[in-house]
Structure 1
Amino acid sequence: MPAASRREQLAWCFYDFANSGYTTVVLTAIFNAYFVGVVAVSVNITNPGTATLLWTLTMATANAIVLFSAPILGAIADYAAGKKRFLLVSTLGCVLFTALLSLVGPGDVKLAIFLVILATIMFSTGENLIAAFLPEITTPDNMGHLSGLGWTIGYLGGLVTLGCCLIYVQWSQTQGGNAADYVPMTNLIVAVIFALAATPTFLWLKERAIARQKQTIMGYFKVGYRRLYHTIVNAREHQDLFRFLITLTIYHAGINTVIVLAAVYAQEVMGFETNDTLMLILIVNVTAAIGAFTFGQLQDRIGSKNCLAMTLVIWIIAILLAYNATTTDLFWLAANLIGIALGASQSASRALVGQFSPPQRSGEFFGLWGLAVRLAAIIGPLSYGAVIFILDGNHRLAILSTLAFFILGLLLLMTVNEQRGRQSAKANALA
């Protein structure tokens, strides 16, 4: 199999640039706060935490669907050599449903939930599929560097997309517009940038897998199920992968909570306006890019596991600072520490799964990675939503619930043997 060129590796990285706008604008900075504060504000009449709970339930539903579909689709993509085709479908779907979010206004709760669920399913499926190319285009010794570079470019993509939205928001405000006027348009901005920036990926990234015997649609699903079943039954052969997937599920529950609810927390606890929140997320994207790049370089020297442990400690410190923040200065410090930890932990997580994956089964194994990430995306935000509902909207106390995820994740990470996991992947690649 010929080695991937530098251009092809950059094309792979550029998909991170393309899809980061969806995470940054829709899930983290603008649309989530718009949903809670404008679209679904009427449901807060009986309990001020109801709109937040509804948003977390929406995220949980989307991620539950991906949780069950990702490993099967990954196994099918491996068997049919169809990762790139599947990626194209998921990309077009996310672009379409994100653009349709521009139709959502105050009170359109059902429409918003429906479109966000569809867009998030497509986004998450694409995220799993693009990650599955990683073992094919680089070596295990360089995986941390390339994964870190991808996340770095991705955060820059989020920065560019959010910056474009901020320019539009500020212009709209000078024209007397309010959130209901300018937030819908930001979804169109996200969709257009996603479509344009993903183009190099489809032009230059190659499908290196070799297709097996053609099947009917039901036949492919049976093949996918059999391959996944075989992997789970023979989990002992990949014990460090499965240990890490359990660990990842735990600490990613905390990460997903922060991603989905950061803007809501800034708005409800710190009193941030839309412009304040956008500026916060812009700066955090810069620190996240720095964290991803710096720790990406460090991973190949000291190991992905050690880098990940360092980032989990940073997460714990940052959450404690956010809880104690009564001034914007302390909150900004906490937010930037979160940015560094976010970029570094996501880069290390993807690299570690790549190191534990035989290249010919990367779609399946990254489907399991996607399963773990999506399960975390259900557990974390939903538990936060339940806590905030019980506490009658007290976000400051609710944020402490995320600490448990990072502390337990750090303890479980100590049981993962990185070298043994890499040797297992190598042995199964030769088998």
Structure 2
Amino acid sequence: MKSDKEKNIFAWYMYDWANSAFATTVIAALLPLYFATVIVPSEGWTFRSFSIEIHTNATTLWAFLSGTTALIVFITAPFLGAIADISESKKKFLMTFCFGGSLFTTLLFFSRKGDVWMTMVFFFLANTCFISANIFYNAFLPHIASREEIDQVSGRGYAYGYLGGGLQFLICIILILAHNKIGIEKTIAVRTSLLFSGIWWAGFSIFALTWLREPVGNKIHSQQHGEEKRSITYYIKLGISRTWYTISSARRHRNLTVFLIAFMFYNDGIHTVIRMATIYGKDELALNNQTLMGTLLLVQFIGIGGALLFSRISKTFGTKRILILAMFLWLGILCYAYIITSTLDFWILGIAVGLVLGGSQALSRSFYGSMIPAKESAEFFGFYSVFEKFSAIWGPFVFGSIRQITGTSRLAILSLVVFFIIGIVLLYFVKENSKPQNH
């Protein structure tokens, strides 16, 4: 029989298992391909509003859609986090965004050829809910794990996510490959996979709904603001004031600020590698879709071992040292990506990416979580999400610009070493075990 603490941690793990179906199948794999090959006509799509007409293509639309979602979360994340801390309602926010996101994901099943607007609206709402829910999911970490446990708990959370997302994606691949034997069209198989992603996300989130406990004890705000009736207006005003106070007092949080800037740079490099890997394989190596999807699936399962391995060795050598080691390994991966020429090389690259990806993501989250005040974890992870989303902008822009100028993706992938070098230098100046004072 599991103890209450074990149930609490297991429920937290299982949410990562649940929502990774959306991250892997919807964001990274199936929906982008379905959107580009089926939803948007091959001749492009025309945006019409009043007297304005803009003709565009699937790639541009998808980039705009992803960027708009990131912008919305960029604006709202710290504000939502502050409200969740004040009202002691992290779990309510988590589950609201979770079930909202899973609902809009299942509605993608109804997206057919030509349903551009409907698909964009459903994905925008689902993706916004997905990213917002992660703010509150991450905010539980300092509450469920001690400083000694936080690296391992964070690593296991990512391991559960890679395993859950990988298994769900594997089932979808089998469904799509076997669509003729089952007697359904390929597009039906893809739409069913999108539906299945939403069901998986909501279904396995039942563990979090049932066992995950709301952190309590944040009474400082009651003392400061009295026992006045807490209306929606009250929380909005207080959320805005707290967010502004945290931003304006950055001098008191200098250590966290240095880490977040370092994280912004090296995470930009990581996101760019992940986002552009498939295009790189197509552009430079002319790989087929089976190899590209297979490598993505491999990354998911290798990521399990990476998250657990790096979390374990950080206990011996220190989180900061192992995180810097991971950045040096990313430099090696970029150099290897520059020289690869075959399908086998791409598979090896996938193994290396999966190993380091899981470790660097898990340690980044736990390192940050160990430095923030637990009572204000949602607000601080709101800022973490802001830097994470802001970091998804510049790497792809640099990659695309260099690819356009030089005519090769090899120099573009090599240019990303700058992001990791800056991240390493800034990480060197971050102090471990340093918490800012509570507000």
Deviation of 1:386 after TM superposition, in Å, equals 5.6
Query: Would you say the 8 A contact 2:302–2:351 is kept in 1?
Result: yes
Matched, 1:326 2:341: yes
- Determine the structure 1 residue equivalent to 2:22: 22
2:388 alignment partner AA: V
Deviation of 1:302 after TM superposition, in Å, equals 1.8
- In 2, Cα distance between the equivalents of 1:316 and 1:178? 43
Identity %: 33
Equivalent in 417, 421, 424 of residue 410 of structure 1: 424
Matched, 1:32 2:32: yes
Q: How many aligned residue pairs are there?
A: 419
Ranked by relative contact order (alpha carbons within 8 Å, sequence separation 6 or more), the top structure is 1
- In 2, Cα distance between the equivalents of 1:288 and 1:7? 24
- In 2, Cα distance between the equivalents of 1:153 and 1:26? 18
Secondary structure of residue in 1 paired with 2:430: coil
- Determine the structure 2 residue equivalent to 1:55: 62
Which shifted more, 118-127 or 211-220? 211-220
- In 1, Cα distance between the equivalents of 2:196 and 2:141? 28
- In 1, Cα distance between the equivalents of 2:194 and 2:242? 38
Query: Would you say the 8 A contact 1:34–1:183 is kept in 2?
Result: yes
- CA shift in 2, pair 1:95/1:387, >3 Å: farther
Secondary structure of residue in 2 paired with 1:5: helix
How big is each residue's C-alpha offset from its partner over 1:363-419, in whole Å with a ceiling of 9 and x where there is no partner?
A: 11111111111111233345545655x45985445433433322222222222122x
Equivalent in 256, 259, 262 of residue 274 of structure 2: 259
Query: Would you say the 8 A contact 1:32–1:263 is kept in 2?
Result: no
Provide the aligned C-alpha RMSD in A. 2.6
How big is each residue's C-alpha offset from its partner over 1:277-325, in whole Å with a ceiling of 9 and x where there is no partner?
A: 3321221111111100001112222222112111112222222322322
Say which one has the larger Rg.
2
- In 2, Cα distance between the equivalents of 1:300 and 1:22? 31
- Determine the structure 1 residue equivalent to 2:92: 85
How big is each residue's C-alpha offset from its partner over 1:94-148, in whole Å with a ceiling of 9 and x where there is no partner?
A: 1011112222334433333322221111001111111100111111121111101
Once the two structures are superposed, the pairs formed by residues 86-165 of structure 1 within 5 Å of their partners are: 86-165=93-172
Query: Would you say the 8 A contact 1:64–1:378 is kept in 2?
Result: no
Runs (5+) with no aligned partner, structure 1: none
- Determine the structure 2 residue equivalent to 1:307: 322
Runs (5+) with no aligned partner, structure 2: 46-55
- In 1, Cα distance between the equivalents of 2:395 and 2:41? 22
Deviation of 1:37 after TM superposition, in Å, equals 4.2
Secondary structure of residue in 1 paired with 2:434: helix
- In 2, Cα distance between the equivalents of 1:267 and 1:276? 10
Which shifted more, 337-346 or 226-235? 226-235
Query: Would you say the 8 A contact 2:179–2:186 is kept in 1?
Result: no
Which shifted more, 236-245 or 396-405? 396-405
Deviation of 1:344 after TM superposition, in Å, equals 0.5
- CA shift in 2, pair 1:254/1:32, >3 Å: farther
- Determine the structure 1 residue equivalent to 2:50: none
- In 2, Cα distance between the equivalents of 1:126 and 1:321? 35
Secondary structure of residue in 2 paired with 1:424: coil
Once the two structures are superposed, the pairs formed by residues 201-240 of structure 1 within 5 Å of their partners are: 201-210=208-217, 212=222, 213=227, 214-240=229-255
- CA shift in 2, pair 1:116/1:265, >3 Å: farther
Secondary structure of residue in 1 paired with 2:416: helix
